[in-house]
Every structure is written in C-alpha cells, then in structure tokens.
Amino acid sequence: MQAPAQTSGSGLRLAIVLGLVALAAIVPILLPSWATLITLVAAKGVVVLGVIILLQAGQVSFGHAMYFAVGAYAVAFWGRHMGPGDLILYLLLGSAAATLFGAVIGLFVVRYREIFFGMLNLAFSMVLWSLLEKLYHYTNGADGIRVVRPTIAGIAFQPETFQYALLYVTLVIAVVASYVAQRYLDSPLGHMLRAIKSNETRLEYLGVSARRVLLIGYVLSAFLCGLGGALVAVAQQIATPEFGYWTKSGEFVFIAILGGSSSALGAFAGSAVFEIVRFYAAAKLANTWQLILGVVLIAIIMFAPNGLVGILNRNRRNAEARR
Amino acid sequence: MDSTIFILALLDGVSYAALVFLVSVGLSLIFSVLRIVNVAHGSLYAYGAYVAATLSLAVAPISPWLTFPALLVASVAVGVVVGGVMERFLLRPVYGREDVLQLLITFAVFMIMDNLQRLIWGVQPIFASTPLKLLPNVSVLGVSYTSYQVILLPAVALLTVLGLRYFLRHTLAGAVILAVTEDREAATAIGVDARRVFLVTFMIGASLAALGGALASPTTSLVPGMGADMIVLSFAVAATAGLGQIEGAAVTALMIGIARAFVIYLQPEFEVLVPYLIMVLVLLIRPMGLFGVDKVRKI
C-alpha cells in the first residue's frame, strides 16, 4: 500500500514543481516588474537549501550569511579588479570561494553541536562582516561594491532582456540545485547526516565519522549559499556588508522554517512568501514588512511548525482521507 | 601612546564594559534558566534606551534630577511589560519544541520590535543627555571624565554582580531559580512552580537589558539598529565568558570593553572586529567559554 501512495505523492510533487517553474517563467513576461523579484526568490531559495541541509542534521547556523556574502563579494571583487566578466565565471567564482571558505571554517565548527555550533558560526560571520564594513579601501565599507552587468555565455544583453536572461538562468540553477540537494539528502550520506540529529552516538558506533559527514553537508551548504550570493549580487547589482550581517543569517533560517525544512520545495515556497511580502509591504504599507513577517513567522511556528509545505501536505492527507 | 590616552582608553573601556555587562548578564541568565538564546535581547536594550530618553525628556523640565528615577522606571517597565508578554504568550507555548523554533520565535520578536521602534520613534537620532550633564566631571590621574560614566555606570554594574550573586545564592527565590535550572522535574516534584520561575527570570533578564539601554541613553545618540548591534555584542561577551556565568561575564565585558577602547585609539577601523575576534579565538579553544564549566558534547 505504501509504495503506490509514494509514487503518486512524488508524481504530484513533480507536477507542482514543474507548474511553479512554468509560472515563474511566464508571469514576468506579463508583469515585467516581477522578473527581478522572482530571480531573487529563486536565488535566495538556493541559499535556503543550504540552510535546510544543516537543519536536517539538527544544526542551526546563525552565520550562514557569511557564505552568501563571500559569494557576492567574490563577484564584486572580480568586477572591480578584473573588469566585467561573464555570468558563468561569476557563478563559478562565487560558489568556489564560498566552498573554500566553508571547507576551512567547517573544519573548526563541525566539532561542535547545537548552541556551540551556532555561536561559532555567528562569531565567524561577524568577523567577516566587520572586515567588509571596515576595510574601506578594499570593500568601500558600508556602501558596498557595485556589480557591473555581466555577459551571459559571451552574449551582452540590454538591461530589459538581461533581467529575463538572468531569471531563466537562475530558475535552471534553482531546479538543478534542488534536485542535487534532494538527491543528496536521499542518499546514504544524507541519511547519515540526518542521523546526526536523531542519534549521533549510534552513527559513530556504525563506524561512521559524524564530523566528516557533517563537514560534507557543511561544505555543500556553503557552496549553495555562495552560489545564491553570486546570483543575488548580479541581480541587485551590488554587494554590501549587510549581506553578511547576522540578521541576514537569521532571515535564511526564518525562510527555511517558514517554507518547511523537510524538503527542497519548502526553501522556494518560504523564499517566495518572504520576498513578496517584503516587496509589497515595503512599497504599499509604509515599511512594515518586518512587522508583518514577524507576525507570520510566529503564526507559522505556533500553528504550522512544518511550514508552508507542511500545510500543503496536511491538506492533501486530509483530502485523501476524505476520499 | 602617552599616558593621557592610555587612561582615557581605560576609562572608555570601563564605562562601556559596564553597559555591555548589564545586557549580556541578562542574556546569560535567561539562557541558563530557560535554555533559550533571546535574539530579541538587543531590542529590549534599545527599548530601554528609547523609553528612558522619552521619559527623561518629559520630566526634565519639571526637575532635571527626576531623570534618574526615570531611567530606572523605564527599564523596569520595559523589562516587566515587554519581557512578561514575550515569555507568557510567545515562549511558553513553544517550550519543549525544537530549539530552532524557540530561537526563531525570539527572532520574530526582534523583527517586530525593530519595526515598531522605527514607527514609534522614527529614524532620526534622539539625544537625552540630561543625566550625564547633571553629574560633575571627575579627574582621574589628570584626565577629566564624566562621573556618570566612570563612577555611576561601573557602580551599577558592580551592584548588579553583587545583587545577583546574593539573590541567587542567599535567598529562597534565588534558590528556587537555581533548583529549576539544575533539575526542572525534581524541582517541580517538590512543589516549585517552574512556569513562574521562567516568567520571573525572563522579566529580570529583560529588565537588565533595558537597564543597560536606559543607562546608555544619556551617553549616546539613539539610532535604529542599536539593538541589532547590541545583541551580537552582548552575545559575544556572554559566549566568551561562558553562558550562565555572572562574574565571568563581568570580567569578559571588562576585557572586551578595554580591548575595544584601546583599538579605537590605535586602529579605529578595527573597533567592531575586536569583540568577535576575541569570541572566535576563545570559542575555538574553549567552546564552553573562559569561565564555563558545562561539558560540551564532542564526539
């Protein structure tokens, strides 16, 4: 009985994902102002995927914005010192820099769990933030560095078409990243990662190095954050120290819980709600977006702890039960 | 570096440390009893400062000396009202749930409070320095400094250390709090109302953050973002000292405060870096903090 239900579930999920991607690709053609918004949603969703991977291991990082910032600044520094580049180069640079950072810092932080893990990540991210903020000669301080519009695969786009090209590239990356993240979490390595949350001692008894398992997850999450950071820097045409501030890290954890930290879809659902509320509340409701999102977050935690995806699943289960 | 600057940096550091200590000891207290890192702690600091400034601007025309009780009233009011509401209605429903959810509740409160703060007090800096100007300057080894900053602030911090110590070790209410911290179930079994302990502890911790803000309000301009900056700073102090360490937090606050003050005079651009660099280095070597005794689970 279990197997068919699962297939129909994953078939449905695939249909939902394809539908959402198609929607994200078509809506901006009708509503041009949404192109950048959806790009940001997808790019931040990729970042949140990284945060979700760590949440699967039961570890909350309040410092992952540092990898987001590393990705963004890698792009910005290249543009500043080497002149305009190509989007593909930018994405490689951003994700490679964040991966490298993640591997080095990961070596230290994977020795710790829970509050200590969170604290160390926060501490590292604040060191990075203060450097970005204060090394004015290299980083322009709080003003940030402008990111010049790159070519995409060698083609130079006009601003109007560039936003669409960037949107489609970002959507493709988001789909691929989700697939990879989901495959990783479903793989033996991913199951071991989850075992860190449920019973780390038992994992060690099996002869598995929990630290190594967590390090792999950590580096992958840093990679995704860097990739998302590079995309956001290109979409917003700037990298500022605020990208690496602790509130940004908090936002990413927020989005993960908002969407539901049990699946890749949650990252994008959460990101969509977050960005759209911010976009509209900032424009129409006299800058009350933080207030609104704070209330939404509290409501989600109190009444739907599995996030938006959890609500979706619950409705589906109820519908199936009624049938 | 000549001796005047040396003394100046030392005094800057001490007065700053006193404020940071008050905030971080509240954070530490809340964590050790409720096992929650209160991300909204910096907002309580900011509200303490804003409410105190509003109150003292209101009472200053009557008599400038009324500003001192105004600071105290503001911090207790913010601590009891905001802290009480937060614990009773937002945190109590999520005790026992996943850590990340408890943490995010306080993050949500931070977002809400930060936004409300801009709506209530605007984004223009607010100054309310009456209490600072009321007290005379003192001369410390030839350097003139406000007695508000070099005498009053450290005195309040010292009183807080001694008061908390006395309260926790030598009073029944303090013993009850320690009992709940040590073993909640056993404490409940002998008739302790753990929920009340949580509420009272949270109010005390929140009041300390607000007191830090209220006392800081005469010495600095109040701007949006002061809460967000303070929470990480106080967290750095609390974590470096070891969460739950009262005297340790005082020593660490002094260490970080003085180190920061010297860096301001020597290499001003690295001012914000100092606390976090110290935090990283200490946590890498002693994750339980300089004074912490908690065992860290390491595999």
CATH of the domain at B51: 1.10.3470
| Whole-number CA gyration radius for chain B | 19
The residues near B59 (Cβ < 8 Å, ≥ 6 apart) are B66, B67, B70
Residue B163 inside a domain? The answer is yes
Is B299–A305 a contact, with Cβ atoms under 8 angstroms apart? no
Residue A70 structure tokens: 């590393």
Report the residue from B101, B114, B276 with minimal CB separation from A123. Answer: B276
ipTM above 0.90 for this complex: no
Residue A137 structure tokens: 């000669």
Is B279–A126 a contact, with Cβ atoms under 8 angstroms apart? yes
CA distance A164 to A154: 16
Touching check for B285 and chain A: CB below 8 Å?
no
Q: Are B187 and B179 in contact (CB under 8 A)?
A: yes
* Alpha-carbon gap: A47 to the closest alpha carbon of chain B (Å): 18
Structural domains in chain A plus CATH codes: 12-322 (1.10.3470)
Tokens 């053609």 -> residue: A29
Report the residue from A200, A210, A291 with minimal CB separation from B112. Answer: A291
Q: How many domains does chain B have?
A: 1
Does B26 score more than 90 pLDDT? yes
Does B180 score more than 90 pLDDT? no
What are the chain A neighbours of B98 within 8 Å (beta carbons)? Answer: 305
What contacts 24+ positions apart, CB below 8 Å, involve A290-293?
A: A290/B111, A290/B112, A290/B114, A290/B115, A291/B111, A291/B112, A291/B115, A291/B116, A291/B119, A293/A254, A293/B108, A293/B111
Higher-confidence residue: A61 or A30?
A61
Is A250–B296 a contact, with Cβ atoms under 8 angstroms apart? no
Touching check for A290 and chain B: CB below 8 Å?
yes
Does A102 score more than 80 pLDDT? yes
Q: Are A102 and A219 in contact (CB under 8 A)?
A: yes
CA distance B5 to A188: 61
* Alpha-carbon gap: A318 to the closest alpha carbon of chain B (Å): 24
**What integer pLDDT is reported at residue A41 of this predicted model?**
92
* Alpha-carbon gap: B14 to the closest alpha carbon of chain A (Å): 23
Determine how many CB atoms are found less than 10 A away from the CB of residue A229: 33
Report the residue from B104, B231, B298 with minimal CB separation from A111. Answer: B298
pLDDT, tens digit, 9 for 90 and up, residues A235-262? 999 999 999 999 999 999 999 988 887 7
Is B97–A305 a contact, with Cβ atoms under 8 angstroms apart? yes
pLDDT, tens digit, 9 for 90 and up, residues B130-146? 888 778 888 878 778 88
Touching check for B109 and chain A: CB below 8 Å?
yes
- Backbone dihedral angles phi then psi of residue A146, each to the nearest 5 degrees: -70, 140
What count of CB pairs under 8 Å joins A to B?
Answer: 129
Percent of chain A's residues with pLDDT above 90: 34
Confidence band for B295, pLDDT divided at 50, 70 and 90: low
Nearest C-alpha in B relative to A107: B284
Percent of chain A's residues with pLDDT above 70: 95
Residue B291 inside a domain? The answer is no
Nearest C-alpha in B relative to A130: B273
CA distance A245 to B180: 35
Does B299 score more than 70 pLDDT? no
Residue A94: DSSP 8-state: H
Q: Are B43 and B111 in contact (CB under 8 A)?
A: no
Q: Whole-number mean pLDDT of chain B?
A: 87
Is A253–B107 a contact, with Cβ atoms under 8 angstroms apart? yes
Tell me what the mean pLDDT of segment A296-313 comes to.
Answer: 82
Higher-confidence residue: A216 or B181?
A216
Q: Which amino acid is at A35?
A: A
Name the B residues in 211-240 with CB < 8 Å from any A CB. Answer: 228, 231-232, 235-236, 239
What are the chain B neighbours of A252 within 8 Å (beta carbons)? Answer: none
CA distance B237 to B23: 9
Q: Are A70 and A128 in contact (CB under 8 A)?
A: yes
Tell me what the mean pLDDT of segment A302-311 comes to.
Answer: 80
Confidence band for A322, pLDDT divided at 50, 70 and 90: low
CA dist B159 to A70, B21, B235, B256, Å? 44, 12, 21, 20
Q: Which amino acid is at A84?
A: P
CA distance A152 to A163: 11
Residue B217 inside a domain? The answer is yes
Report the residue from A120, A134, A201 with minimal CB separation from B283. Answer: A120
Higher-confidence residue: B242 or A104?
A104
Touching check for B269 and chain A: CB below 8 Å?
yes
Q: Which amino acid is at A93?
A: L
Determine how many CB atoms are found less than 10 A away from the CB of residue B111: 26
CA distance B149 to B144: 11
* B246: nearest Cα among B236, B237, B233: B237
CA distance B22 to A144: 34
Question: Taking the mean position of all CA atoms in its chain, how far away is CA B234?
Answer: 6
Does B297 score more than 90 pLDDT? no
Report the residue from A127, A201, A254 with minimal CB separation from B104. Answer: A254
Percent of chain B's residues with pLDDT above 70: 98
**What integer pLDDT is reported at residue A48 of this predicted model?**
94
Residue A162 structure tokens: 């560039």
Say whether pTM exceeds 0.95: no
Confidence band for A47, pLDDT divided at 50, 70 and 90: very high
**What integer pLDDT is reported at residue A64 of this predicted model?**
92
Tell me what the mean pLDDT of segment B106-127 comes to.
Answer: 90
Q: Are B123 and A302 in contact (CB under 8 A)?
A: no
Residue B200 inside a domain? The answer is yes
* A298: nearest Cα among B225, B232, B92: B92
How far does chain A reach from its first CA to its final CA, in angstroms?
16
Is A305–B111 a contact, with Cβ atoms under 8 angstroms apart? no
pLDDT, tens digit, 9 for 90 and up, residues B186-196? 888 888 888 89
**What integer pLDDT is reported at residue B42 of this predicted model?**
92
Touching check for B166 and chain A: CB below 8 Å?
no
Tell me what the mean pLDDT of segment A72-79 comes to.
Answer: 92
Determine how many CB atoms are found less than 10 A away from the CB of residue A288: 19
Nearest C-alpha in A relative to B107: A250
Ramachandran category for residue B67: left, alpha or beta (phi over 0 → left; psi -120 to 50 → alpha): alpha
Determine how many CB atoms are found less than 10 A away from the CB of residue A12: 12
Tell me what the mean pLDDT of segment A79-98 comes to.
Answer: 89
CA distance B188 to B32: 17
**What integer pLDDT is reported at residue B1 of this predicted model?**
60
Does B164 score more than 80 pLDDT? yes
Higher-confidence residue: A28 or B221?
B221
Residue B297 inside a domain? The answer is no
* B146: nearest Cα among B156, B136, B155: B136
Buried b (16+ CB within 10 A) or exposed e, B3-15: eeeeebbbbbbbb
Mutate to test the interface with B, among A110, A140, A291 (most CBs of B within 10 A): A291
Does B286 score more than 90 pLDDT? no
**What integer pLDDT is reported at residue B298 of this predicted model?**
38
pLDDT, tens digit, 9 for 90 and up, residues B228-266? 889 988 988 988 888 888 888 999 999 999 998 898 888
The mean-pLDDT minimum among A22-26, A90-94, A145-149 falls in A22-26
Q: Are A48 and A309 in contact (CB under 8 A)?
A: no
Touching check for A101 and chain B: CB below 8 Å?
no
Which residue segment(s) compose the domain that B225 sits in?
3-122+129-285
